[in-house]
Amino acid sequence: MTGGLWQDRQRVDCLVIGGGPAGLTAALYLARFRLSVQVIDRGAGRAASIPLTRNYPGFPDGISGRELVQRIGEQAVRYGARITTAEVATVERSGDIFQCRTSSGLIEASTVILATGIRDVRPPLDDELHAAALAAGLIRYCPICDGFEVSGRRVAVIGRGAHGAREAAFIRSYTDDVTLLAWDGTTNLDVTQRAGLAGAGIAVVDGAVASARMQHDKLILATDCGELAFDAVYPALGAQVASRIAQELGAQVNEDGYLHVDEHQRTGVPGLYAIGDVVAGLNQISRATAQAATAATALRNDLLLSPPP
């Protein structure tokens, strides 16, 4: 990736905002369609935080998210895509052109692909402990991705209400030792949810968590009900969806902020496409890369039918 300031404004066929698996795969396709493409990525996306993904096809021994992203980026650059470490602040539409203000300067683009992802809401752990626990697989965010790895282990879900109960029930299909708790002690479970959890053999702890620490290969949570040691803890606290730029352009989102798109990844704003976790649906790398291929191909065809001025 390159850094640095642009002295002059650039004009590209497509600006891709976000350099995770979605954005970089789109850039690869667009470059191979012989379009000029600029990726702007501020780093620290979800993919980059994956210690080892074992459910992405083609890597039977798994691959770290960071390495996967680097490889897709190298592949895209090989065909002419530019990738720059910077942040896109705003995008405005001026006639048929998108004016994109970034921390590295102004870019004019005929089309924009938004691949900005989401940010998981984290439990209140200090950054160092969170990073170490994530790297060690003691904190996990995606049971669809890595529930298999906690088979038969002692697992906690941090969450509340229907969302927390659903996640605990999902993980129960891997292990019979699942505990649901909320950091502040308010699990907000109604009688039916409690009965459902009890019937599934899922423990509920109604005590607040005062502190957490790593000890050997466990995450220890000190709660009002005593110290509890877990092999893995899944926060189920929701996410902040990075759809602001699209919303400011007039794109539609659902009640959680996820973008609505058509079957070709077009938002309702002409020339603006969205892919990956920022789009409502399953948050997985496979879906992100598939959507990238779909969006890039639609964009190529849309430009053929209405070329930029």
Residue ranges in contact with ligand FAD by CB under 6 A: 17-23, 40-47, 49-50, 53, 55-56, 87-88, 115-117, 120, 141-142, 145-146, 242, 276-277, 283-286, 288
Minimum separation from the CB atom of position 304 to ligand FAD (A) = 26
Q: Which two tokens stand for residue 148?
A: 């298999």
Q: Are 137 and 51 in contact (CB under 8 A)?
A: yes
Taking the least distance from each CB to ligand FAD, the nearer of 13 and 146 is 146
Calculate ∠ Cα 34-71-241, nearest 5°. Answer: 85
Q: Which residues lie below 8 Å from residue 204, measured CB to CB, with a gap of 6+?
A: 179, 180, 181, 187, 189, 194, 197, 198
Phi-psi domain of 276 (left: phi exceeds 0; alpha: psi -120 through 50; beta: other): left
Minimum separation from the CB atom of position 188 to ligand FAD (A) = 24
Minimum separation from the CB atom of position 91 to ligand FAD (A) = 9
Taking the least distance from each CB to ligand FAD, the nearer of 57 and 309 is 57
Helices 21-32 & 65-78 angle (0-180, nearest 10)? 20
Nearest to 85 by CA among 102, 64, 65: 102
Residue 18, Cβ neighbours under 10 Å: how many?
28
Taking the least distance from each CB to ligand FAD, the nearer of 19 and 159 is 19
Q: Which two tokens stand for residue 20?
A: 């995770």
Minimum separation from the CB atom of position 4 to ligand FAD (A) = 16
Minimum separation from the CB atom of position 11 to ligand FAD (A) = 19
Per the listing, tokens 């530019």 go with 82
Taking the least distance from each CB to ligand FAD, the nearer of 177 and 277 is 277
Minimum separation from the CB atom of position 285 to ligand FAD (A) = 4
Taking the least distance from each CB to ligand FAD, the nearer of 102 and 179 is 102
SS3 label, residue 143: helix
Minimum separation from the CB atom of position 194 to ligand FAD (A) = 29
Taking the least distance from each CB to ligand FAD, the nearer of 122 and 194 is 122
User: DSSP secondary-structure letter at 149?
Assistant: G
Q: DSSP string of 47-73?
A: GGG-S-BSSSTT-TT-B-HHHHHHHHH
Taking the least distance from each CB to ligand FAD, the nearer of 117 and 123 is 117
